Chains A and B, each alone.
Chain A
Amino acid sequence: MAGLHKSEFENQVVNWIDTRMPIFTMMQKEYGSFPTPKNFNYFWNFGALAMISLAIMIATGIFLAMNYTAHTSLAFDSVERIMRDVNYGWLLRYIHANGASMFFIVVYIHIFRALYYGSYKAPRELLFMLGVVILLLMMATAFMGYVLPWGQMSYWGATVITNLFSAIPFVGEGIVTWLWGGFSVDNPTLNRFYSLHYLMPFMITGVVFLHIVALHITGSNNPLGIDVKTPQDTLPFHPYYTAKDSIGICVYLLVFAGLVFFAPNFLNHPDNYIPANPLVTPAHIVPEWYFLPYYAILRSVPDKLGGVILMFSSIAVLFVLPWLDTSPVRSSRFRPIYKQLILLLVVSFLVLGYVGGQPPEGIYVVLGRVATAYWFLHFLVLLPILGKLEKPLPLPESIARPVVRRPPPGGGGGPLPQGATAKPMEKS
């Protein structure tokens, strides 16, 4: 249906634009008055933090690209030039490099939130799956970005990861040659990685948009995991959650600045300050910290193809998670057994991360295998049967109920008058 929008904005200019293209009305609806569950805890900050991270990465990346040269003989030196000669180049690069780590920390906590509070369950399955797509795109982007400085870890990381595809029967070698554009990781590889590294953040932005569209259809989950029933259960997004998110952003920036200014290379690897040498493999290759758990899974299987399959499955399993978990209760607060298992899953993820950074021998192999086994056991065996065995705790009537019923601090103590809770508020 074509037709002008009837705008309610009083500012004449805003009204004129809004009548012809109602983006102000849309922003007001989706980010102003948007009804949001009123019981969010700080775990619900991490979506906004991830968005901030993406913006910071794109902004610093665009300016770094102005001084970077994607050629095997110049890349390493151009990065050193950024560090030494370009005004504030060091700052841009350290923000970008540590920003990748911050982005992954934030997204991992965001995913943990989704797992702990059952945010992946109906009707938010598609929302969750879009999130997994974003994670995969982030991993590809981060991997290709790490190759660009063309240090030893860049080069050998690229070699090892692209060689994963050689495990595919019959066509694997051909695919790897095609990915490289040659017979080893070389200049054509560096050029295409640069091109794709620049492209993918914008693909992520696109999927983030879809993620938010889906979120604003289903509405947010909340720590109780129960559906919003009345307007009393919600608050308008602005100013309540813009304010709460701002506090999270301050803490986030504090940690970020701490890394950038006091430990800029803490999460980096010293070998990446040695220029790439195709003839010498560093004694101990490790990927960036955020890939270590998957690397540990890869190495815990003695078979090449098996390791690659298991590594990719460890993330792919998240796509079917909404159907593997058979319990109708979302929040761990009311799932006494799941609450323990999800913490075990976190422990197994951390153990894998630790093992991935250690040499593949002795006790580390055993630890890696146990943690890998738990990862798959959790999703493929425990979750499907737990929904049938576990007896969930009684769910609260509504989000408003336990909050409103709590006695006010310092006075009263008795229950509130009936009218305070029983009458639904007349609100949007």
Chain B
Amino acid sequence: MSDTATVRQAITTVGAADPSKRDFLKLLTGSAVVIGVGAIVWPFIDSMSPAKDVLALSSIEVDLAPVQEGQAITVVWRGKPVFVRNRTADEIKTAEGVALNQLIDPQSDADRVKAGKEKWLVVIGICTHLGCVPLGNKVSDPRGDFGGWFCPCHGSQYDTSGRVRHGPAPSNLGLPPYAFAGDTKIKIG
């Protein structure tokens, strides 16, 4: 009984004599716990990020030779559709002629294609709204009022440069990293 009282007395005395010391110990213990818990939790969280085999499958080659002018094809890259479109001279002219202040997400056509290869438009075929695949690759598909693509889910429309022209999508169709490997071949990824 008296022992406990003595210890309690001692604790109170220390606490009263130097409160900053106790605060420091509390902070130190608290930080160690936070860091420790964080270190244990992180492997669990990161195990849900893309695994190494998923990351490894991220580059493909596409042969452009069979794609006629005015046609578009869909290839799969990283599990997503990528549209490769061989644009007609008219479509290129329309895309280049649009004033930037008319665009929801202003970007010039030149920034969306490779210089000297303006007829090839390569975009990620995923609507930037909620991830549907827009229609417009097949001749029979609706292409919207701007001649590009039309998203059937919520009605977004894209022009011949893959730029969004009518909401609810907030931004232009994404551009995958790609490079020409010869005149009629590209490497995506």
Contacts and interface: CB of A to CB of B under 8 A. Distances in A.
Interface of A: 156, 159-160, 162-164, 166, 177-184, 186, 188, 192, 278-285, 299, 301-305, 307, 360-361
B49 A164 contact: no
A183 B174 CA distance: 13
Nearest to A284: B152
B48 interface: yes
Contact of A279 (B54, B76, B131): B76
B168 A163 contact: no
Interface string B130-165: 111100000000000000000111110000000000
Given A182-B79, A281-B152, A156 B169 contact: no
A156 B170 CA distance: 20
Nearest to A361: B155
Given A156-B132, A305-B170, 16 more contacts: A164-B130, A181-B49, A182-B54, A183-B54, A184-B80, A188-B51, A278-B80, A279-B74, A281-B151, A282-B152, A284-B152, A285-B132, A299-B154, A302-B167, A304-B129, A304-B169
17 contacts: A160-B131, A162-B131, A163-B130, A164-B130, A179-B48, A182-B54, A183-B79, A184-B80, A188-B50, A279-B133, A281-B152, A281-B153, A282-B152, A284-B152, A303-B170, A304-B169, A304-B170
B78 interface: yes
Contacts of A164: 130
A267 to B, nearest CB: 21
Interface in B78-107: 78-81
A159 B130 contact: yes
Given A279-B74, A279-B81, A302-B168, A160 B50 contact: no
A184 B48 contact: no
A160 B130 contact: yes
B142 to A, nearest CB: 10
Nearest to B170: A304
Question: Which of B133, B153, B155 neighbours the largest number of chain A CB atoms within 10 Å of its CB?
Answer: B153
Contacts of A159: 130-132
Contacts of A166: 131
Contacts of B132: 156, 159-160, 281, 285
A182 B48 CA distance: 9
Interface residues of B, number: 27
Nearest to A285: B153
Contact of A181 (B48, B152, B154): B48
A354 B170 CA distance: 26
Nearest to B81: A279
> 4 shortest A-B CB distances, which residue pairs?
A184-B79, A183-B78, A163-B131, A281-B132
Contacts of A163: 129-131
A422 B36 CA distance: 65
Contacts of B49: 177-178, 181
Contacts of B130: 159-160, 163-164, 304
Nearest to B134: A281
Contacts of A301: 168
Contacts of A302: 167-168
B126 to A, nearest CB: 8
B153 A160 contact: yes
Nearest to B174: A173
Contacts of B133: 279-281
Interface string B45-73: 10011110010001000000000000000
Interface string B155-189: 10000000000011110000000000000000000
B50 A181 contact: yes
Nearest to A177: B50
Given A281-B132, A361-B155, A184 B168 contact: no
Contacts of A283: 152
Contact of A184 (B45, B78, B170): B78
Nearest to B77: A183
Nearest to B154: A360
Contacts of A303: 167-168, 170
B172 to A, nearest CB: 14
Nearest to A186: B79
Interface in B26-55: 45, 48-51, 54
Contact of A307 (B45, B76, B78, B168): B168
B59 to A, nearest CB: 12
Nearest to A176: B131
B50 A183 contact: yes
A372 to B, nearest CB: 15
A289 B58 CA distance: 37
A33 B80 CA distance: 61
Contacts of A186: 54, 79
A322 B153 CA distance: 37
Nearest to B74: A279
A281 B3 CA distance: 76
B88 to A, nearest CB: 24
